[in-house]
Amino acid sequence: MSTDRTPVGDADVCVIGAGPAGALVADRLADAGRRVVVLEAGPRFDPDDRLERQERAIRPAYDRPDVWDGDPERDVHVSSNEDWFYPLNHTRVKGVGGSTLHWQGMVMRLHEDDFDSASERGVGVDWPIGYADLRPYYAEAEREIGVAGADDNPFAPPREEPHPMPAFKPSYSDGLFAEACENVEIAMHSVPNARNSEVYDGRSACVGYGTCQPVCPSGAKYDATVHVERAEERGATVIDRAPVQYLEHDADSISAAVYATPDGEHRQEADSFVIACGGVETPRLLLLSESEQYPNGLANSSGLVGKFFMDHLFAGMGGTLEEPTRQNHVGFLTSESHQFYDDADEEVGPFKLEFFNYAGPSPVESALGGDDWGDELLERLRREYGTQVGMGALVEQLPREDSYVALDPDRTDDRGNPVPDVHWNVDERALRTLERANEIQREILEELGAEITWQVGPENTGPAYHHMGTTRMGDDPDESVVNARLRTHDLENCWIVGSSVFPTGGAMNPTLTIAALALRAAEHVDAELK
């Protein structure tokens, strides 16, 4: 493996970030014959280490950041809103592959009304593009990633072709929920998953390790290293451990990305730049690149870089049954419900219901987390394991200007740069939506006959770690950072890809929309280079 981290000469495009958005853009542009260089802040992980990382994931001595080598000095951050603390490092990964190394792997399309929230729901803003504009790119993204799904969701937006692979069969616990849902007239349907239900694209079918989040040892779950490696085969250069410190520029364009390496600092020049650092690090990089031309941060003539930070909120409920549930038999979701999603209005937002296959601890976690052994351990496992059920829900948070990512004036990272301050706020509509989701979850669980033992709702909700909105797209340069083609309004050779461009978040896991937008943006970047 090469450790040459020197700049690439005559680069057409410099992509900053090797997560799903950056990887897809790099692969598409390399395939078009462009000279592409990718700068990634974190390391390239050895795939042979994934079993060891799986072991870390199930041992209580390790925290989530330890699984993918989180660095407290490199990744330090601040959350300045005391009312809504944001645990940024709990589920982020810096490295080649980015967040897809540890993600759950659910890939839904946004609904049609998600693109027209202001017009259809009376809140938020409308996107400058509609579902019809993104629809062919959704299909392309599903083929690129490899999605297992079915056409059994009557509430989903229209599609043009079947999913690339058949859906995973409903789990045993899904079957327990099905009768209760039928009795209370709630429809269940399959979950589209970015994991192989059969051999696909040279990767094996899922073999059931069950540790999907935060590590899939088999490679059956898609991660962005697939497209990073493909881009390299097509001639792209990927430089890891190369955090970009700032972007050199004049009033109209970027000239170079200045990046640090273990061996020193370098300048990567290119004709065009694509920033794909995620919803926190993308605005941070732009703010770190302030200058005389852009005293408030690069591409920030609107003053909105970092503003409108959004996440999805979690609502959950669970308990126990007086019968086996095979908890943790499947490590991902196989059933959900979008039945209430399009009821959204000004008062209650969109949400989707999830039926957990992994409620309660696994037997391994239970055993490792206790002090007992032998017969005592066996008796405790029989008593505590195997009868738990749970439900979840994702809830939309509206964009608000007082929810933002900024530079902290006092803290710096291991390179001496100001760290991100994630100042997270949550709107009242989201809290009402959490209450509504909890009401439906309780109805289902009581119909199931469960003894409810836990609830996550308005008072103790938390984020889903989907960082959105901080460089929003729009037609008006005074009200957005990038246009409908994801090029910045201020700079003629700078594009931003990723969920930071979402004007609103909906309540669907964002990665498929990230991928679709990245494929669409790659076309526009390539066209501008001709």
Around 10, how many Cα atoms within 13 Å sit in the side-chain half-sphere?
2
At 355, which helix (H) or strand (E)?
A: strand 351-355
Q: What string of H, E and C letters represents the secondary structure of 430-479?
A: HHHHHHHHHHHHHHHHHHHCCEEEEEECCCCCCECCCCECCCCECCCCCC
Q: How many residues are recorded in the chain?
A: 530
Q: Look at phi and psi of residue 90 and say left if phi exceeds 0, alpha if psi is from -120 to 50, else beta.
A: alpha
Q: What is the DSSP string of 47-93?
A: GGGHHHHHHHHH-TTS-HHHHTT--TTTT--B---TTS---GGGG--
Distance CA 117, CA 523 (A): 27
Q: At 463, give phi and psi (nearest 5°).
A: -85, 160
Q: Look at phi and psi of residue 124 and say left if phi exceeds 0, alpha if psi is from -120 to 50, else beta.
A: left
Q: Catalytic pick from 423, 466, 467, 489? A: 466
Q: Measure Cα distances from 110 to 22, 113, 417, 466 in Å.
A: 21, 8, 36, 14
Around 352, how many Cα atoms within 13 Å sit in the side-chain half-sphere?
27
Q: At 369, give phi and psi (nearest 5°).
A: -90, -5
**Residue 480 DSSP one-character state:** -
Active site residue 466: yes
| Catalytic center residues | 466
